[in-house]
Amino acid sequence: MASASARMVAETLPCFAGRTVLIMAHNDDAGYGALCRWSGQLQDAGAERVASFNFAKWRDRAAGAAIDDLNDFLRADAGGTLERRT
């Protein structure tokens, strides 16, 4: 989903029953709020497991910048500048 303010459509939730779901939320307060909201919706729908990926643990060494989302992560990885924070 491309927006942290979006909610999952009720009709789609049964599709997640019994499945493992990985949420890659944006690395900010809105992304964290969405992660919590979506996790609850998925768990209520019967998802077997809901996991998340934490972009805060990564940075782009060349840009000297935090990784905020999947696009930043993939760009830094492709450029060979992805670095795990210690």
Model confidence pLDDT, tens digit, residues 31-47? 999 999 999 999 999 99
Residues 48 and 72 in one domain: no
What domain range includes position 64?
56-86
Residues 59 and 18: their CA atoms lie apart, in Å, by 34
Residues 33 and 4: their CA atoms lie apart, in Å, by 7
Residues 79 and 64 in one domain: yes
* pTM of the entire predicted model: 0.83
Residue 7: inside a domain, yes or no?
Answer: no
Give the pairing type, strands 58-60 and 82-84. antiparallel
Residues 62 and 85: their CA atoms lie apart, in Å, by 14
Residues 26 and 46 in one domain: yes
Count CB neighbours of 30 within 10 A.
Answer: 12
What are the residue ranges in the chain where pLDDT is below 50?
none
Residue 44: inside a domain, yes or no?
Answer: yes
Residues 25 and 49 in one domain: yes
Token digits of residue 32 = 């964290």
Residue 4: inside a domain, yes or no?
Answer: no
